Amino acid sequence: MPDSPSPTVTTAKPAKVTKKVRKTVPQMNICITASYNNTLMTATDPNGNVLATSSAGACGFKGSRKSTPYAATVTAEKLVDKIQAYGVQKAKVFVKGVGTGREQSVRALQAAGLDLEAIFDVTPVPHNGCRKKKSRRI
């Protein structure tokens, strides 16, 4: 018998697949940022941990179409699809910004079947504004 090493057969064990456990969040905060160029929506739990996000750019809109009310509606529908897995029943909505998608995004959330507890306008307002430009001396 020759002194050749016997072939060892190693079987790879299948990797353990851990299923991600989705927690149920009955109440959520939805933050809407409606700028002149885009509409961003973020769903958080009451502690502020982000659960889902959506934006008009992520929904496939490009350029000036991102700032339209229709893009805000599509963004809201996509966000509601993402948060359905969390079993949300009630939501508080915080709207920030001056874009055209402000009202349409809130209406789309209501139309999707979310029970909106409250709607807050958290747009920052300057109390005194920036310092004025110095007067020109000629």
Query: What is the band of 89 on the pLDDT scale with cuts at 50, 70, 90?
Result: confident
Percent of the chain whose predicted confidence (pLDDT) is above 90:
63
pTM across the whole model: 0.76
Residue 133 confidence (pLDDT) above 70: yes
Give residue-wise pLDDT tens across range 39-52. 999 999 999 999 99
Work out the angle between the directed axes of helices 102-111 and 69-83 (0-180°, nearest 10): 40
